[in-house]
């Protein structure tokens, strides 16, 4: 009976491997145990990696073949699988290939984890060129923001401020009998001060100097407080202190997405309140902006004044992040961006 059970189990495993192989004919398939030690290596491994099966087995662990561990075991245990991991590997001959990996929990061939590796080098190169082009466009946009910010702050805002002072001086020099003219000048002076304050606010929105001087956490918190005061909106913020500063491009990405998402709340949602959270979850920094406003159907909204959404998605993509948008009519909107923490970022 035990032999029959063993035979039946071996047959099931063989059928399962056959099914997996048929589904992933162009992929390289591996199965490992909890320690990453190989329990199964597909015959076509040399096509992608340049190694023969026995050479791969001699490497011992999947991390030696891929260059590092790619998935958090706790995350895999919770989700059951992790899809669409983009990763570059070095072949036996020294060439580099870009892979798309799907990692899944299994119980087969003495292993617990299945890795399906697909070669996406050509697509990856095209995407990289597009990312570089998008990056140059966004950098040019940021440089133009800096120029406009300085122009507003150093020239226009100062000239408006001077005009306000001159109006006040003119009012003081008027004949006491000219009370009506004095009132009109006082009104113009007050309006001029309001315009100056608005120019100052626009200057800081275009180029947040405090992002450089105070860091991401204080900048997002300050922006939330300024926006709430200016628009009579309740913004609840829970901003975690990051262990160490992020890389500059990731910092700017998160700030700009928080800025764009909150401005969308003001412009489109009709919400009475919004919330912003910044947290570190495992190996990712996670920003979430949500509101209790009108919401919309994302399936039909694109193409209708959604440049801001496209911009947020592209910013996240440029730093290898993931951008998600959830919304339903009458149920509000939630924007989530997850940015992997790079080793050089220091977090």
Q: Are 222 and 214 in contact (CB under 8 A)?
A: yes
230 vs 325: which has the higher pLDDT: 325
Q: Domain 215-347: which CATH class? A: alpha beta
Neighbours of 144 (CB within 10 A): 12
Q: Is the pLDDT of residue 106 over 50?
A: yes
> Considering the chain, what percentage of its residues have pLDDT values greater than 70?
80
pTM of this structure? 0.55
Q: What is the pLDDT of residue 32?
A: 92
Q: What is the pLDDT of residues 255-291, one digit of tens each?
A: 989 988 998 888 888 888 899 999 988 788 999 999 9
Q: What is the pLDDT of residue 278?
A: 93
70's tokens: 């790619």
CB-based burial label for 180 (10 Å; 0-12, 13-18, 19+): exposed
Give the mean model confidence (pLDDT) for residues 196-211.
71
Q: What is the pLDDT of residue 22?
A: 45
Q: Is the pLDDT of residue 33 over 50?
A: yes
Give 4's pLDDT tier (boundaries 50, 70, 90): low
Q: What is the pLDDT of residue 335?
A: 92
Domain segments of the chain as ranges = 2-119, 121-207, 215-347
Q: What is the pLDDT of residues 112-138, one digit of tens each?
A: 999 999 999 888 777 777 767 666 776
* Topology of the domain comprising 2-119: Beta-Lactamase (3.30.450)
Collect all residues with Cβ–Cβ distance below 8 Å to 160 and sequence separation of at least 6: 192, 195, 196, 199
Average pLDDT, the chain: 81
Give 72's pLDDT tier (boundaries 50, 70, 90): confident
Q: What is the pLDDT of residue 182?
A: 77
């Amino acid at each position: 009976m035990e032999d029959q059970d063993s035979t039946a189990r071996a047959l099931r495993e063989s059928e399962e491997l056959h099914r997996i192989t048929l589904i992933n004919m162009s992929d390289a398939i591996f199965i490992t145990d909890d320690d990453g030690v190989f329990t199964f290596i597909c015959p076509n491994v040399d096509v992608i990696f340049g190694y023969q099966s026995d050479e791969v087995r001699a490497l011992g662990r999947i991390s030696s073949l891929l260059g590092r561990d790619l998935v958090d075991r706790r995350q895999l245990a919770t989700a059951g699988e992790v899809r669409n991991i983009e990763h570059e590997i070095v072949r036996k001959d020294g060439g580099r290939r870009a892979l798309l990996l799907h990692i899944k929990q299994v119980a087969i061939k003495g292993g617990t984890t299945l890795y399906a590796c697909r070669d996406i080098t050509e697509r990856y190169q095209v995407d990289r060129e597009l990312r570089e082009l998008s990056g140059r466009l966004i950098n040019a946009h940021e440089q133009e923001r800096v120029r406009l910010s300085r122009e507003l702050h150093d020239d226009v805002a100062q000239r408006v401020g001077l005009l306000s002072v001159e109006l006040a001086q003119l009012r003081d020099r008027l004949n006491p009998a000219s009370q009506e003219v004095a009132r009109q000048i006082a009104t113009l002076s007050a309006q001029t001060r309001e315009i100056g304050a608005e120019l100052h606010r626009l200057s800081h929105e275009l180029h947040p100097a405090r992002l450089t001087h105070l860091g991401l956490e204080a900048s997002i918190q300050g922006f939330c407080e300024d926006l709430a005061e200016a628009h009579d909106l309740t913004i609840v913020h829970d901003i975690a202190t990051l262990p160490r500063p992020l890389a500059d491009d990731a910092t700017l990405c998160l700030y700009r997405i928080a800025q764009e998402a909150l401005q969308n709340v003001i412009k489109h949602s009709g919400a009475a309140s919004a919330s912003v959270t910044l947290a570190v979850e495992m190996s990712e920094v996670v920003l979430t902006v949500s509101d209790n406003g009108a919401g919309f159907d994302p399936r039909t909204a694109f193409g209708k004044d959604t440049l801001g959404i496209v911009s947020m998605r592209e910013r996240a993509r440029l730093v290898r992040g993931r951008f998600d948008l959830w919304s339903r009519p009458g149920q509000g909107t939630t924007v989530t961006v997850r940015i992997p923490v790079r080793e050089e970022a220091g977090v």
